[in-house]
Amino acid sequence: MLQLVLFQLAEEIGFTGFLHHHWQDRYHPMKLTLYVALLWAVWRLPDHFAEAGWGVEAMISGLCRRVRLVVLPRALFAWFYNVTSSSVLLVAIVHASDGAINQLSYDVVPASNTARFLIFSAVIVLVAIAVIIATKGQLGRAKETVDIHAGVSDANP
C-alpha cells in the first residue's frame, strides 16, 4: 500500500493522467504507448544506475532493459486507463501489483531470480500481446470514424 501511495500513484498521475491523457487525441494508441513508455524508461534510469553503477555501459544496458520492460506493460496501463473511464487510481493499483506478484513469485516459482524474472516477464508480454491483438491495437479506445459526407453539398451541380 505504501508503494502505491508513494510511487506508482505519483508516476501514474504524471505519465497516465497528464501525459497520456493530453497526447491521447494526437497519436494512435500504440504510438502513444511507445512515446510514454520511452519517457518513463528515461525517468526510471536512475533506479538502474543505483543498482548497476554509473557509466556508458550501465546507461545503455539500463535504457535497453527499461524499454523492454515498459513498452508492453505501458500498453496494458493504456488499456486499463481507456476501459476504466480514465481512472488513474486503477492504473496505479495495477502498476503497484507487480511488486506483490514479484513477491508471490518466490513462493510459486522456486528457482533462480533470473528464472523468476523471465517467467514473470513472459506472462506480462503474453498478456499485453493478447490485449493488443484483441483490441486491434486500439487499447480500449474507440476507432475514430471519418464522416465521408462531411463538406459535401446536398445540391447537385
More confident residue, 101 or 78: 78
Q: What is the pLDDT of residue 26?
A: 92
Average pLDDT over residues 33-60: 75
- Amino acid of residue 155: A
Separation between Cα atoms, residue 78 and residue 82, nearest integer Å: 6
Mean pLDDT of the chain: 78
CA-CA-CA-CA torsion sign (102, 108, 110, 116): negative
Q: What is the pLDDT of residue 146?
A: 41
Separation between Cα atoms, residue 25 and residue 63, nearest integer Å: 27
Average pLDDT over residues 20-31: 92
Separation between Cα atoms, residue 125 and residue 143, nearest integer Å: 24
Q: What is the pLDDT of residue 145?
A: 44
User: Per-domain residue ranges for the chain?
Assistant: 2-134
Q: What is the pLDDT of residue 147?
A: 45
Q: What is the pLDDT of residues 93-138, one digit of tens each?
A: 888 887 777 777 777 777 777 777 777 778 888 888 999 999 999 9
- SS3 of 111-131: the string is CCHHHHHHHHHHHHHHHHHHH
pTM here?
0.71
Q: What is the pLDDT of residue 144?
A: 59
